[in-house]
Amino acid sequence: MVSTLTTRRRRGFTLIELMMVISIILILVSIAAPIYKTAILHAHEAVLRDDLFTMRSLIQQYTLDKQKAPQSLEDLVSAGYIKQIPKDPFTGTADTWVTDQEDVLLSVDQQQPGIVDVHSGASGSSSEGTAYSSW
């Protein structure tokens, strides 16, 4: 009779044991959540840098190949330089890119001015403290 009573008590966890496990899990989650959010922010910033580098490079290639600067980002798509305009990782749309159009010619052979640079249309500042629109 004593053996059946002790086996019943040993099968489950006590309330204190469950509370300890739950509190340990909550502590670990509270440590991991800010690190996860920071990692996501840095990933978005890396994608933005890469997209800006790619589009600026394609604008220069288009200008040198066609002897005229693109008049819009869609000109890069229609000429086959890029499959589609990438989405801004912070705004989630491809319509928010801000282009700089100047009358300055980039090369001697260039016949028509147009887009010379592109920036993000996202508001806010990066983890470094600079505005995304200034990148």
In a domain, 8, yes or no: no
Domain of 109 in residue numbering reads as: 14-122
* 84 has a pLDDT exceeding 60: yes
pLDDT > 70? residue 10: no
2 lies in some domain: no
Residue 54 lies in a domain: yes
Residue pLDDT, tens place only, 85-105:
999 999 999 999 999 988 777
- Domain membership flag for residue 132: no
Whose CA is closest to 100, among 55, 130, 37?
A: 55
d(CA 133, CA 119): 6
Q: Which pLDDT band holds residue 5 (cuts at 50, 70, 90)? A: low
- CA dist., res. 120 & res. 123, Å (int): 8
How far apart (Å, rounded) are the C-alpha atoms in residues 122 and 51?
14
13 — pLDDT class (breaks 50, 70, 90): confident
Rounded mean pLDDT of 105-125?
83
Structural domain total, the chain: 1
